[in-house]
Amino acid sequence: MTGDLEPTTWDARRTSFGSVAAEYAQLRPGYPADAVAFLLGEAPRRVLDLGAGTGLLTDQLLAAGHEVVAVDPSADMLAQLTARHPHVEAAVGGAEQIPLPDGSVDAVVAGQAAHWFDPPRAAPELRRVLAPGGVVGFVWNVRDETVPWIAALGAELAEEARGHEADQGVVGRFAAQLPADVVEHVSRVVQRLTPEQVVAGIGTRSYVATMTPPDRTAFLDRLRTLLAEHPDTAGRTELELPHATHSVRLTPR
């Protein structure tokens, strides 16, 4: 799925994260424990973290006692994950061709990744690798733009982001393709970052990672200026960056 982006642009963004893997691991928000509990319940499961990236969702899955298999298109992103969790099984692959046997996991989850999947091709793969009674869970962290300075930041990002930070209707497409029943849950996570870390974190977004170096520098400098001048952030050395965590559990029929 490409939304309103050209297919070549969409593919470049989808595969851009390896170039910013270390920064992604350090600066992207993690996921709250209640999101994992909502998606998977309390009993330990064997879970495929699909589009696992640097392992931010894997961190919480392991903390909750689940066994994790991590799959991501980027070897560089997975290297960040396995550096922290060397005993986690990890493999390069994508949602449209999952490198796992049939019926080998109890759940498939994706953090900040499902909007890059192609539902008509990925849904049969999810069903194939799921054991009977398995579930699918998608989760996204979305900046809380009820906070004025974050709304101002979001306005600067909107034209470049073009919606590629959240659901974009992918849940409905997967619900139809699987088919599955859908339940949703919203929780919250807050990062505490310096202004420069806020800017650097935005630098790990696909639409920034794929800019030319001069355009990237100019874009990030505009964000630095915004944070230096906005009345809620000017002169501050630490900022609270809240996110709403949207979790969706799909139970295949």
Q: How many CB atoms lie within 10 A of CB 52?
A: 28
Domains recognised in the chain with CATH numbers: 7-145+163-191+243-252 (3.40.50.150)
Cα Dmax for the chain: 55
Matching residue, tokens 């498939």: 108
The predicted pLDDT at position 81 comes to: 97
Cα 218 to its chain centre, rounded Å, is 25
pLDDT for the residue numbered 4 = 55
* Cβ-based neighbours of 26, under 8 Å, separated by 6 or more: none
Q: Please provide the DSSP assignment of 176-223 as one string.
A: HHTTEEEEEEEEEEEEEE-HHHHHHHHTTSHHHHTS-HHHHHHHHHHH
Q: What is the pLDDT of residues 123-138, one digit of tens each?
A: 999 999 999 999 999 9
pLDDT of residue 2: 46
At residue 130, what is the residue type? L
Q: Are 247 and 34 in contact (CB under 8 A)?
A: no
Q: Which of 247, 246, 225 is CA-nearest to residue 234?
A: 225
Residue 96: what pLDDT?
A: 97
pLDDT recorded at residue 130: 98
CA atoms within a 13 Å half-sphere pointing along the CA-CB vector of 49:
26
Residue stretches of the chain with pLDDT short of 50: 1-3, 10
Q: What is the pLDDT of residue 154?
A: 93
pTM: 0.88
Sign of the Cα torsion 38, 247, 197, 8 reads positive
Per-residue pLDDT at 10? 43
